[in-house]
Structure formats: C-alpha cells, structure tokens
Structure 1
Amino acid sequence: MPDGEKIRRLAGLLLEARAAAAPLAALPDDLASIDAAGADAVQLLCADRLGPIGGYKVLQVADRDGSIGFIPASAIERSPAMLDAAGWRLKIEIEIAFRIGRDLPGRADGAPYSVEEVRAAVSGAFAAFEILGSRLPPNPPAPAARADAMSNHGLVVGPELGDWQGAVRADVTATLAISGRVVVSATGGHPSVDPFHSVPWLANALVRLGRPLVAGQVVTTGAFGGSHPIAPGDEAVGEIAGFEPISIRLAP
C-alpha cells in the first residue's frame, strides 16, 4: 500500500476516534509500522481537519532529534478549567509552557534560528497541565503514538509571566496534587534539564515541515515528575515556583 494511502487511513481512524470520544479497539498491523516522517504527516493531516493549531508539545533531549505533537486551539483551556473526560483514560502532567510572541517563518538565508533568536520571539511563559489521552489501543508502537499527536488530549494554561527568563530554570520546584494526594514534588528533573531547551529545535523543525510557529501559539516542553492517572470527579492543583498555581477538575 502506498505511504500516502497509509497516512490517509491512519489519519481517518484517529479522527474517527476523536469524534467518537473512544480509543480504537485495534490498530491494523500495516499502520503500526509507519515511520517518523509518516507519523508527522498523519498528525498534520488531522490538524488540518480539526481547525487551527493552538500549539505544540515537544520532547527533545541534548542534541538528539526530537518528537512533535500538535495541539488544536480548541483543546487549550485557561485555569481554572473543567474538563469532560467521558470515554477517555486520561493522565496529567505538570509542565512549563511558552507563548510565541512573533512569527518564526524561517530565515531568508535558510540558516536555522539561533537559541537567542527563538528566545527573543517568546513573549511569556506559564505553568501548564498537559492532559494525555491516547486514541490508540494500549501500548502502541512509538511511531503510531507520534502520529496520534504524542497522545495529547489538551492543555490547561495558567496566567502568563512576561518576565519569564529568571523563572525558567533547571532547578525549579514543581508540585502536583490530585484530589489532595501529592503525586509530584520535584526540584528539577525536567527531561531536557532546561525547560526552554527544546523550543529552538522545535522552531527549526517546524520550518522544515512547512508549519512554522506563529504568534500566539503555545509550546509545552515536558513534564516534571512524569504522568499520573486522573479520573472523573478528580481535581488537580499544580504549582511551579515563580508562576501562578493552576487547577483543573474532571466532570464526574
């Protein structure tokens, strides 16, 4: 089967799962073997069907290649938030996210953006919850998970901090409590060490994909303390030193 047909089929299945508010019961074997480029093509095809892209999640460590997941604008909420979780097995993460303040369409000479150029394009940062909810059966292959927007279900953002650079540090303290039970109490431990580290990589990767970052989009860069199940009726409260606390409640 041509790759283009595999991309369209997998995108169609993922869109059907989103519409049905239920994960797929099974994933055809031929679609589980998609490569990274195909996975990104799948998720961007889904993004085109779901409306404007509000932001991205990114995982990138040291100088290695990273992974991208799109976040529809309709899936970004402000704290305090209420979320209807019916049909989904959800997890939650406490993260630092960044607001892009000006477009990053690519440099005229084709050279990649420098760290300083991308830093200057960021207008603010905030504490955020990433909500995870896969549209795939349990334990999907990594490329299929990437095609599913890296399992992103949504993002909850707190009040924006304009003077953000002093607050975004490798040794920042983060806490997360779910219905009164503390599940994260961490100092540092971000997967990229520096929470900003992966944003320049993302900016340049998106230029290559033809989907450059634009003003207003949000970038979230990885969890402090991992991901934790959250169930209907639960309330989560998170705090990252230097930022306003955030909260979310799942409808019963």
Structure 2
Amino acid sequence: MDRHAPDQGSDPAAIARRLVTARRQAQALPDYPGELPRTLDQGYACQDEAIALWGRPVVGWKVGKIPADWESLLGEERLVGPIFEGAVQAPAPREAGRFAVIPGGFAAVEAEFVFRIGADAPADKTDYTAQEAADLVETLLVGVELAGSPLPLINVLGPPIVVSDFGNNSGLILGPEVPGWRSLAADELTCETFIDGHLVGEGGAASISGGLLAALAFALSRCAQRGYPLKKGTLVTTGAATGIHDILAGQRSRVSFGRWGEVLCNAVAAMPEGSDA
C-alpha cells in the first residue's frame, strides 16, 4: 500500500506543485506527496505539470537507464528528465562547479558524455535511429549530471517516480569538448569518479547500454512524442558512465575523462529560493 495521506490523491498537478515547492524551499520530502505513479506515462504527466510550474526554458534533457527488472514491467529501457536554463554550469579549467544539495534529500554525481544538438529536429518526426540521431549532433562534451531530488528514496521508489520529479535531475556541469568523437571507439572514452579523493567508480562510453547514440536517439524520440522536439543547442546527457555516486554537502567530486579533461564539483547545502546565503 502506498504511504501517503488519503487526501493527497493522484492528481498530477497537485503532486507537481508539492514537488516543485519542496525543491524551491530546499526541503526534503520523507514520503511521496501523493499516490505513487504506476506507469511511465503517469510519471510524465506529473513531469509535464512540473515543467510548466518551474517556469524556465528547458535547455537540455538527461537520459537515465531503467533497471532491468523495471524495464520488463514498464516496457522502456530509458527515461528522460528536463534540464533547465540556469542549471547548466561551464566552469573554467581547474575551477569547480557547485551542487546545491537539499538536506535530507537525494544527491549524487554521475559522469556523463553529453551531446549538443546542432539543428532543430523535425517537429513531425517521433522515431529516430542512432544514425539519424548522429546527423543532428553538433559536438560531444564531457560533463557531470547533478542528480538531485527532495525525495531521499527516489531511486528505490522506481522509474515512474524518478520521471515525475524532473527525472531526478538538479543540473549539469559541462567540461571540455571531445574533438573527433565520431571516429573514436567507445573504449577510448573512459572516465573515473572520485569523491573526496577516493575512487568510487570507473567506466566510460562502453558502459552505456547500446552506446551513446542509442541514448540520444531515445531522447529525440521520447521527447518528440511528448511534444518537445529537440532544438538547436539542446544538451542531452547519455547515462551514468561510472554509476550513481551519492554525495553530501561539504564533499567534493572529481571526474577524470583522461585526455579529454576533468570536471570538478563542490557540494553545498541548498538554501530556499530568495534567501541571502
């Protein structure tokens, strides 16, 4: 049985308001604020409402892998969540990005290979192959997704819940471009994640199911089907290349992409919108 107050209900708009308010107030939610979405479509209905409430342009989309046990139940391999204007950082070399962590919520860093779209996707096209996706790419960058939510157990609750809360995304830190990426083998794109100097994960493009372009093709297709065809300049993350690594306020992460550079991040406690801190 879902653990929620009986008057909270399953109205996507009501759930979205509570999730958005919690993010803006930097306040953790120990329980889901309504009936748990059972399907991805129910989760996306909440996400659509929350996008409208957030009131900022969507400049990117995160792509996440759905665990195998959930994939067989839900019928999709991946999910998407919005990345908003103002949530993308591009620090100078050797400078760190900033991750505002909701105290008591969920926070993790994820090493990412990130595509930037070079042309508007056709508004009426809703299904893409990997090659069709590649044709729309301007460049590939390295980066770190800031996975964050007021729900501490968001990943435990399952993909429909992840989808409902912006895909468990709180922002993106961009690193250097990867020149000549089209001619590189997946095993040449490797990365390592460190938290407070300790190695916590290793992987790379070869860790992404089906490859980086399969993740992009999914984003192009799923977003178009929902009425969000990707535009020129849109950023698309492709999946957690070294895994999902929890981080707390006060900790620091470093993701090394070898010859492609590194991305630094300092986690700090989030403050309510409008506060002076």
Would you say same fold, with TM above 0.5?
Answer: yes
Task: Give the CA deviation at 1:14.
Answer: 0.8
Query: Are residues 215 and 207 of structure 1, via their aligned partners in 2, closer, same or farther at CA, if it must alter by over 3 Å?
Result: same
**Alignment gaps of 5+ in structure 2:** 1-5, 270-277
Alignment deviations for residues 31-61 of structure 1 (CA, whole Å, 9 cap, x no partner): 2134211211211221222211121111358
Task: Give the CA deviation at 1:195.
Answer: 2.1
Query: Are residues 242 and 199 of structure 1, via their aligned partners in 2, closer, same or farther at CA, if it must alter by over 3 Å?
Result: farther
Distance 2:60 2:25 in 1: 23
Alignment deviations for residues 65-112 of structure 1 (CA, whole Å, 9 cap, x no partner): 4311111122111133123335244211111111111111335xx573
Find the partner of 2:99 among 83, 92, 107: 83
What amino acid sits opposite 2:100 in the alignment?
Answer: D
Residue of structure 1 in register with 2:84 after alignment: 72
Task: Give the CA deviation at 1:243.
Answer: 2.0
Distance 1:227 1:60 in 2: 11
Distance 1:242 1:168 in 2: 14
Matches within 5 A, 1:121-160: 121-138=136-153, 139-160=156-177
Matches within 5 A, 1:1-252: 6-28=11-33, 31-50=35-54, 51-59=56-64, 64-79=76-91, 80-85=96-101, 87=103, 88-107=105-124, 112-138=127-153, 139-167=156-184, 169-170=186-187, 172-186=189-203, 190-251=207-268
Taking only aligned residues, the RMSD between alpha carbons, in angstroms, comes to 2.7
Distance 1:186 1:142 in 2: 23
Task: Give the CA deviation at 1:179.
Answer: 1.6
What amino acid sits opposite 1:70 in the alignment?
Answer: P
Distance 1:140 1:209 in 2: 23
- Percent identity between the two aligned chains: 24
Query: Are residues 235 and 5 of structure 1, via their aligned partners in 2, closer, same or farther at CA, if it must alter by over 3 Å?
Result: closer
Distance 1:45 1:231 in 2: 29
Distance 1:38 1:187 in 2: 32
91-100 or 238-247, which deviates more: 238-247
Residue of structure 1 in register with 2:3 after alignment: none
163-172 or 190-199, which deviates more: 163-172
Task: Give the CA deviation at 1:131.
Answer: 1.4
CA contact (8 A) 2:215 2:239 kept: no
CA contact (8 A) 2:109 2:246 kept: yes
What amino acid sits opposite 2:98 in the alignment?
Answer: M
Distance 2:140 2:149 in 1: 26
Distance 2:134 2:241 in 1: 21
CA contact (8 A) 1:106 1:113 kept: no
Task: Give the CA deviation at 1:214.
Answer: 0.7
What amino acid sits opposite 1:84 in the alignment?
Answer: A
What amino acid sits opposite 1:66 in the alignment?
Answer: R
Residue of structure 1 in register with 2:273 after alignment: none
TM-score (norm 1): 0.86
